[in-house]
Amino acid sequence: MNKILVIGAGAMGAAFTFPLVDNNHNVTLTEPYDKDLQNKLLKKNKFHPALKLKLSKKVFIKKFSLELLDEKWDLIVVAVSSIGIEMVRQYLKNIKKKISILVLTKGLKYDRNNNKIITMSEQLSKGNQNLNISVLKGPCLAKELAKKIKSYTVIANQNINIAKNIGKLISTKYYKTEYSRDLKGVEFSSAIKNIYSMIIGSGEGENTASALFRKSLDEMEYLIKYFKGKKETVHGLAGVGDLYVSAVGGRNSKMGEYLGKGYTFKIAKNKFMKNDTVEGADLAREIAAFILKNIKKNKIPLMHALLIAITKNKKLKVNY
């Protein structure tokens, strides 16, 4: 039995507790900034509002605090939103002992001070070299994981043995893990697929969407190589696997459908998806300044078109 802390009680963080409990670990779930969600989990017999089911009775729900982080953990899982990564970093930066971290969060950040795009693991590790960070990505919907529908993900760490050791902790008959040394490729693939799923969703029909899917893979390969990852990673779970799940359903492809019908982003958001978070749009705003300035349009025309549509609030114009 290992002692594992999951930071982030949203849908994925909560769903992730199921395979951990089934592996007989001592699991604590905490929520660092959504106090309303935290209170609901504490008061409603661990019923999770997003998953629409009760968490295991064996999961400990605790309020987030520095004292909680100071406890001895075998593994800390970070499952906050990309916006919450900086908050978690501030809390973790003063930890002096070596600690193993697994990041579920998908996203990228434009570091304007150094004029480069960094991954979630790079942001989290700033100022603290004691954090041994691995990342977990792939086509895993939280609701399906919570229902123990067979799911596959990839764990990445430059030290493949560390990735495999984490895999042993979390893998079950319904939750399978693969491994990669390509940390950059895995993180970039899992992030930019949100943008490309919007593009695929904008297709006029299935024939068009299929062509856009293939063209998206070409651009993803170029971008992964540009950012020093391995282009073959695009053909794994964090790339094509995750892109498929996002493209066939979900908020990003739904927004893409509205953009394809001629709506601008703001109009589509306010009219159809007012209360929904569209991760691809958030990422587009984050990385647009760097991408549009540094990468030629003819190399990634689909990405350029989407970034212009989102950041300039213009109609999406994609040349198939």
Residues 206 and 116 both lie in one domain: no
Give domain status of residue 70, yes or no. yes
Give me the domain span that covers residue 254. 192-311
CATH code of the domain containing 31: 3.40.50.720
Q: What is the pLDDT of residue 320?
A: 67
311 CB-contact burial (10 Å; exposed 0-12 / middle 13-18 / buried 19+): middle
Q: Which long-range contacts (CB under 8 A, 24 or more apart) does 81-85 make?
A: 81/8, 81/10, 81/105, 81/107, 82/106, 82/107, 82/108, 82/109, 82/120, 82/279, 82/282, 82/283, 82/286, 84/8, 84/32, 84/33, 85/109, 85/120, 85/123, 85/124
Where on the phi/psi map is residue 83: left (φ > 0), alpha (ψ -120 to 50), or beta? alpha
Within-domain flag for 140: yes
Look at the chain and report how many structural domains it folds into. Answer: 2
**CB 137, CB 185: distance < 8 Å:** no
Residue 83 within a domain: yes
pLDDT for 29 equals 97
Q: How many CA atoms lie within 13 A of 99 on its CB side?
A: 25
CATH value at residue 278: 1.10.1040.10
In three-state secondary structure terms, 257 is: helix
**What pLDDT, on the 0 to 100 scale, is given for residue 129?**
74
Between helix 183-201 and helix 279-294 the angle, nearest 10°, is: 110
Residue 202, in any domain of the structure = yes
Q: Which pLDDT value is given to residue 48?
A: 94
CB burial of residue 83 (10 Å; 0-12, 13-18, 19+): middle
Residues 176 and 199 in one domain: no
How does DSSP classify residue 107? -
144 and 285 assigned to the same domain: no
Q: What's residue 265's pLDDT?
A: 96
Whether 19 maps to a domain, the answer reads yes
- Quote the CA–CA distance of 250 and 277 in Å, as a whole number: 11
Q: How confident is the prediction along the chain (320 residues), in pLDDT tens digits per residue?
A: 899 999 999 999 999 999 999 999 999 999 998 889 988 898 878 999 999 999 999 999 999 998 998 899 999 999 999 989 999 999 888 777 788 999 999 999 999 999 999 999 999 988 777 789 999 999 999 999 999 999 999 999 999 999 999 999 999 999 999 999 999 999 999 999 999 999 999 998 999 999 999 999 999 999 999 999 999 999 999 999 999 999 998 899 999 999 999 999 999 999 999 988 899 999 999 999 999 999 999 999 999 999 999 999 999 998 76
Residue 316 lies in a domain: no
Distance from C-alpha of 3 to C-alpha of 154, rounded to nearest angstrom? 22
Same domain, 141 and 286: no
Nearest to 39 by CA among 9, 82, 81: 9
pTM confidence score: 0.94
pLDDT at 242: 96
Residue type, 191: A
